[in-house]
Amino acid sequence: MTDLKILGIDTSGKVASVAVSDGGVLLWEQSVYTKLTHSQVIMPMVRRAMEDTGIGFDELNCVAVANGPGSYTGLRIGIGAVKGLCMGAPMLKCAGVSTLKALAYNCCAFEGRIIAVMRARPGIVYAAEFDAEDGKITRASPDRVCAEEELFGDYKCVRPIMLVGDWAGEVRKTYFDGRNGVRKAEFTELLQRAGSLCLAVESEPELICGPEELEVSYLQATKAEKDKAHS
């Protein structure tokens, strides 16, 4: 662990989430499952977080943001907000964290295999596998977009499994019903949390970069790209 002051912002899914951590201590976190667009709620949440903690932007070491996969619009909003903050504070660094890796950090107290899974479209998921041991998260597969059946149809349970993400419940019911050693994360850990972005960067400071290096990882073509390809 390092000693960093981190602002976390997650707009990759239906939850808008902001957190502030200092040296591995979570000072502030708010997550809202909202019907409003993230562009309407995320910056007021950021301002409230900074005011409540008394930390200035010039004191932050890093702004961590979920950089995908996830909602195209949501990801653009989050990445845009972070780049804007860094433009206003030129010394401020940022960190793009895989949405799936951050979900795995929700369950870092678990011992076994964590599978982060999010619905991409009918029958298709974003997914990645991680090993959790002694509070440490180690990647076991790359982030990917694939058919549910391709990943889970004949999945061998060699270790206890924790499913996390917005499609975890459906995967548990469809592919692991009645099988021992497979759990779905509790609702407090199931969806994106900005505090887990802070934890990921605290654990992996090599994720920190300059704003010019921050990019979105969609994993699949955007609607505009698909429309262009078929025009």
Q: Is 90 exceeded by the pLDDT of residue 110?
A: yes
3 state SS of 45: helix
Confidence of residue 197 (pLDDT cuts 50, 70, 90): very high
Q: How does pLDDT run across 52-109, given as a tens digit for each residue? A: 999 999 999 999 999 999 999 999 999 999 999 998 888 999 999 999 999 999 999 9
Q: What are the boundaries of each domain within the chain?
A: 5-99+192-229, 100-190
Q: Please, which residues have CB within 8 angstroms of residue 54's CB and are 6 or more apart in sequence?
A: none
Q: How far apart are CA 113 and CA 131, in angstroms?
A: 5
* Helix, strand, coil abundance in the chain, percent, nearest 5: 35, 30, 35
Mean pLDDT (whole number) for 125-140: 97
**Percent of the chain at pLDDT exceeding 70:** 94
Which pTM does this prediction carry? 0.94
Per CATH, domain 100-190 is 1.10.10.10? no
What pLDDT is attached to residue 195? 98
3 state SS of 71: coil
Mean pLDDT (whole number) for 122-126: 96
Average pLDDT of every residue of the chain: 93
Q: How far apart are CA 122 and CA 110, in angstroms?
A: 29
**SS3 for 170-184, per residue?**
HHHHHHCCCCCCEEE
Which CATH superfamily, name and number, covers 5-99+192-229? ATPase, nucleotide binding domain (3.30.420.40)
